[in-house]
Amino acid sequence: MQNVHINNNKAPMNCSSFDASNTIKTNLIMNETKVQKEIWKDVVGYEESYKVSSAGNIKSKSRYVLRSGHLMYVKGQYIKTYLQKSGYYTFGLRDGYKYLHRNVQKIIAEAFIPNPENKRTVNHINGIKTDNRVENLEWATDSENTQHAYDKGMHPSKTFLNGRGFKNITIKLNKDTLEVLEVFDTLSLAALSMGTLKGNISKAARKGTVSCGYKWKYKY
């Protein structure tokens, strides 16, 4: 395996920069994967236009497309992916005259991994967001995804404090029986698990109303 030298004398990157160590790990993993057979499948919903591989690569298919009223031949090619501030790779695809952005891990999971329970999020099993090999991906519920991120240290360890000096520990309740269903260390985690804004859950916790089908309260 090729040795990787990291220059520790470089100036530190700011908080908005991605973790270089994870990128290096991903490059090493991808180099090792090249010796294995790369399997290609059609992108779900775009079977005539795009393919995705078990190693996390994407390419377009050679095809005829209608552009400005004329039928044009477009040669297939590898699609460039973009690393977002969130740490995930995305790519752009054409849907008729629209240009859409998709998460790479999601389209790989859709093509390769069965999802009989219709879970809507995808975990990176080893916690490295840039490692999109199919064996590193799994379907998850919102709650499972949040817990996995917490277990892997993908959420900051520091929690925000409210004005009284306590953590905003947020509790999800059955709206009818008020049974405690789930406890979150922060309001942010609660909102992330439900795919909603923090303000919606915060308002429900303060006023005793319902948000996302549940009642909410703070521990303190």
Residue 46: CA atoms inside 13 Å, Cβ hemisphere, count? 22
pLDDT digits (tens, 9 = 90+) for 151-170: 777 754 334 344 444 457 78
Residue 1 lies in a domain: no
Say how far residue 4 (Cα) sits from the centre of its chain: 27
State the pLDDT at residue 100. 84
Residue 163 lies in a domain: no
* Measured CA distances, 163 to 118, 159, 184 (Å): 40, 13, 18
Residue 16 lies in a domain: no
Do 109 and 71 belong together in one domain?
Answer: yes
DSSP secondary structure letters along 21-37: HHHHHHHHHHHHHTTSP
Residue 144 lies in a domain: yes
Residue 212 lies in a domain: yes
**Chain length of the chain:** 220
Do 132 and 71 belong together in one domain?
Answer: yes
Specify the number of domains making up the chain: 2
219: pLDDT strictly greater than 90: no
190: pLDDT strictly greater than 80: yes
State the pLDDT at residue 50. 93
Residue 176 lies in a domain: yes
pLDDT digits (tens, 9 = 90+) for 18-27: 455 555 555 5
Higher pLDDT, 98 or 89: 89
Please, which pLDDT band fits residue 183 given cuts at 50, 70 and 90?
Answer: confident
Lowest mean per-residue pLDDT among 11-25, 52-66, 206-220: 11-25
Residue 73 lies in a domain: yes
Residue 157 lies in a domain: no
Which of the listed residues 123, 151, 179 is the one where a domain comes to its end?
151
State the pLDDT at residue 95. 75
State the pLDDT at residue 166. 43
Higher pLDDT, 86 or 166: 86
Which of the listed residues 100, 121, 151 is the one where a domain comes to its end?
151
Question: Which residues does 77 contact at the CB level (< 8 Å), separation at least 6?
Answer: 59, 60
Full domain range(s) for residue 52: 40-151
